Amino acid sequence: MIKDFNFYAPTRVVFGHEAEAKIGVLVAAVGVNKVLLHYGGGSAERSGLLGVVRDQLRQAGIAWCELGGVVPNPLLSKVREGIERCRRERVDFILAVGGGSVIDSAKAIGYGVPYPGDVWDFWDGKAVPMACLPIGVVLTIPAAGSEMSSSCVITCDDGLLKRGVNSDLCRPRFVVMNPERTYTLPPYQTAAGATDIMMHTMERYFSRYEDMTLTDSLSEALLRTVRDSVLVVLEHPDDYRHRAQLMWAGSLAHNDLTECGTEKDFATHKLEHELSALFGVTHGAGLAALWPWWARYVCAAHLNRFVQFAVNVMGVANDFAHPAETAERGIRAIEDFYRRIGMPTTVPELLHRRMTDQEIDTLVNKCSRGGTIKIGAMQVLDADDMRAIYRMANQG
């Protein structure tokens, strides 16, 4: 079966060595009154990128104000500060300079400014976004794919609730991507980013809809490319060619291209968001610690797909007589790959300790909203399934 789809990717991509030179023109083309320049904890200032962005705005005659300090796993408190600031300064465009955390914070501020109620209503399911300030992005890390996605993932400081909201309204107008700007990424962030990129594709590849072979081929090529390129850039951080492959893969993995004819599962993402909310871990590393255990939990019911992944992506020889063994070898191959790039393959490797039973209960409770919702699509998981997977990942 091929799932019907409605593909929408409105973001202009300006990619390459001189990409930053276009920022002023791109912002001016939107026709803005005042820009909020939004960024993270300091990497963009240290690298000189923010200086280049300010020069671009100045030269284009565009007024702006600034709000930095977005943390990884971005917080609602910063979003509220941004909304207040934008209203006070009559900002009508947000320029996010950073990665998924800064972009998501920008999107949330964009939703909040025109909304008269409390912005958390959107994540709490009490309201649906009806408007969003336009967003532009200068990307510094290939990972979350937020630069082309419809998602916005925010953590409410009160209760550490990490949730996503999806709407086409927040898809950025443009993204400026210069792979050279990713040379300064620490190895751990590079590896976690690559893991996240692969997972965005895998969570659409492991699908009940198995007949869109074109999408499968695109996904398999993307996965092999990211797997190979991350190994190169961990050895040679300033390898332009492979940084470029990773950067473009990050956007393609999450702009829904690899979902055309298939279906999002995203169970591992849902399980991980609770880990990064509770323990503050890096999203991609949390995914690496969980996916092998999700895979083993659901594998028997979807053997063909796991065999295809093992053979076409991980290069495992097909043992036609024993498909379950081929599938398991594929899972082990990705665990070996995670170890090579410095990612964990269990929760104890991630947290440097085991979770307590009480912590697992907390994760399950939050992920299942007290047992009221299920997650996943290829295989639907209830609270008991979630607990079983967290427990498997906790043993390793």
Contact residues toward ligand NZQ (CB under 6 A) are 40-44, 72-74, 98-102, 104, 140-141, 143-146, 149, 151-153, 181-182, 184-185, 189, 193, 196, 254, 269, 276, 283
Nearest CB to Zn ion, comparing residues 134 and 172: 172
Nearest CB to ligand NZQ, comparing residues 237 and 323: 237
Half-sphere exposure of 101 (CA within 13 A, CB side): 24
In the complex, the smallest distance separating the C-beta of residue 268 from ligand NZQ, rounded to whole angstroms, is 10
254 binds, among ligand NZQ, Zn ion, none (CB under 5 to 8 A by kind): ligand NZQ
DSSP character string of 145-172: -TTT-SEEEEEETTTTEEEEEE-GGGS-
Contact 68, 97 (CB under 8 A): no
Contact 395, 346 (CB under 8 A): yes
In the complex, the smallest distance separating the C-beta of residue 343 from Zn ion, rounded to whole angstroms, is 13
152 binds, among Zn ion, ligand NZQ, none (CB under 5 to 8 A by kind): ligand NZQ
In the complex, the smallest distance separating the C-beta of residue 204 from Zn ion, rounded to whole angstroms, is 12
146 binds, among Zn ion, ligand NZQ, none (CB under 5 to 8 A by kind): ligand NZQ
Contact flags string 177-216 toward Zn ion, x per CB under 5 A: -------------------x--------------------
3-state class (DSSP) for residue 249: helix
In the complex, the smallest distance separating the C-beta of residue 238 from Zn ion, rounded to whole angstroms, is 26
Give every strand in the sheet of 93-98, ordered side by side.
12-15, 174-177, 135-139, 93-98, 35-39, 64-67
242 binds, among Zn ion, ligand NZQ, none (CB under 5 to 8 A by kind): none
What b-and-e string marks burial along 57-81, b requiring 16 or more CB atoms within 10 Å of the CB? beebebebeebbebebbbbbebbbe
141 binds, among Zn ion, ligand NZQ, none (CB under 5 to 8 A by kind): ligand NZQ
In the complex, the smallest distance separating the C-beta of residue 368 from ligand NZQ, rounded to whole angstroms, is 18
In the complex, the smallest distance separating the C-beta of residue 96 from ligand NZQ, rounded to whole angstroms, is 10
295 binds, among ligand NZQ, Zn ion, none (CB under 5 to 8 A by kind): none
Half-sphere exposure of 67 (CA within 13 A, CB side): 26
3-state class (DSSP) for residue 18: coil
Nearest CB to Zn ion, comparing residues 112 and 145: 145
Half-sphere exposure of 320 (CA within 13 A, CB side): 0
3-state class (DSSP) for residue 95: strand
Residues 6+ apart with CB under 8 A from 184: 43, 46, 47
Using Cβ positions, the residue closest to Zn ion within the complex turns out to be 196
User: In terms of Cα–Cα distance, which of 169, 135, 139 is closest to 151?
Assistant: 169
Q: Which two tokens stand for residue 391?
A: 């427990």
Nearest CB to ligand NZQ, comparing residues 104 and 216: 104
In the complex, the smallest distance separating the C-beta of residue 45 from ligand NZQ, rounded to whole angstroms, is 8
Contact 22, 60 (CB under 8 A): no
In the complex, the smallest distance separating the C-beta of residue 49 from ligand NZQ, rounded to whole angstroms, is 8
Distance CA 135, CA 166 (A): 15
182 binds, among ligand NZQ, Zn ion, none (CB under 5 to 8 A by kind): ligand NZQ
Residue 184: how many CB atoms within 10 A of its CB? 16
181 binds, among Zn ion, ligand NZQ, none (CB under 5 to 8 A by kind): ligand NZQ
Nearest CB to ligand NZQ, comparing residues 147 and 210: 147
42 binds, among Zn ion, ligand NZQ, none (CB under 5 to 8 A by kind): ligand NZQ
In the complex, the smallest distance separating the C-beta of residue 283 from Zn ion, rounded to whole angstroms, is 6
What b-and-e string marks burial along 212-240, b requiring 16 or more CB atoms within 10 Å of the CB? beebbebbbebbebbbebbbebbeebebb
Q: Which residues bind Zn ion (CB under 5 A)?
A: 196
